[in-house]
Amino acid sequence: MKVIIDLIEDIASAINNDKSFSLSAMCLEEDANAQFHSLWESSLCQYKMDEELKTLYLFLGKEDSINVGSFLEMLNALENKKMMYEIKVSYSKEKKRVDASIIGFSESLEDKKYLLFIS
C-alpha cells in the first residue's frame, strides 16, 4: 500500500519534481520465476479524493495525462492528515470497477512519464 506522502517523496527523488512529466499506470504480472512483466500501460487522466475512505483515486483514460507539476501543487496543498491517504488506480475490467493498490513507482526519462505500478 502506497500513500500520498510516498508518492510526493518518490517524485522528488526520482524526477526532481520535473513538472514536464505526465502520470501513467502500468499493470504488472508476476511469472513463475518471480519476474514481473508489463501487461499494459495507460494514461492517468483524472483524480478524486474520497474523504470517507481516505483514498486518492486516479482514473485511467484516453484524455491527456495528468501533469506532474499541477498534480504536485494539489498534493502539496493538502493538510497533513490527508498525506496518509492510500492511492489507488481505478479502471473498468469486464464491466466492473477495479480499484488497484499501488505496488511501486518508477520513471521513464525518455518518455517523460512517471509510472505507478499495479498488479
Whole-prediction pTM value? 0.93
DSSP 89-110: EEEEETTEEEEEEP-EEEEETT
- Cα 9 to Cα 17, 38, 75, 110, 114: the distances in Å are 9, 24, 11, 21, 13
- Domain residues of the chain, as ranges? 4-118
Q: What is the pLDDT of residues 57-104, one digit of tens each?
A: 999 998 999 999 999 999 999 999 999 999 999 999 899 999 999 999
Q: What is the pLDDT of residues 1-48, one digit of tens each?
A: 999 999 999 999 999 999 999 999 999 999 999 999 999 999 999 999
What was the pLDDT predicted at 14? Answer: 96
Q: How many whole angstroms separate alpha carbon 44 and alpha carbon 53? A: 20
Q: How many whole angstroms separate alpha carbon 56 and alpha carbon 48? A: 6
* Arithmetic mean of pLDDT over the chain: 96
Q: What is the largest CA-CA distance in the chain?
A: 43
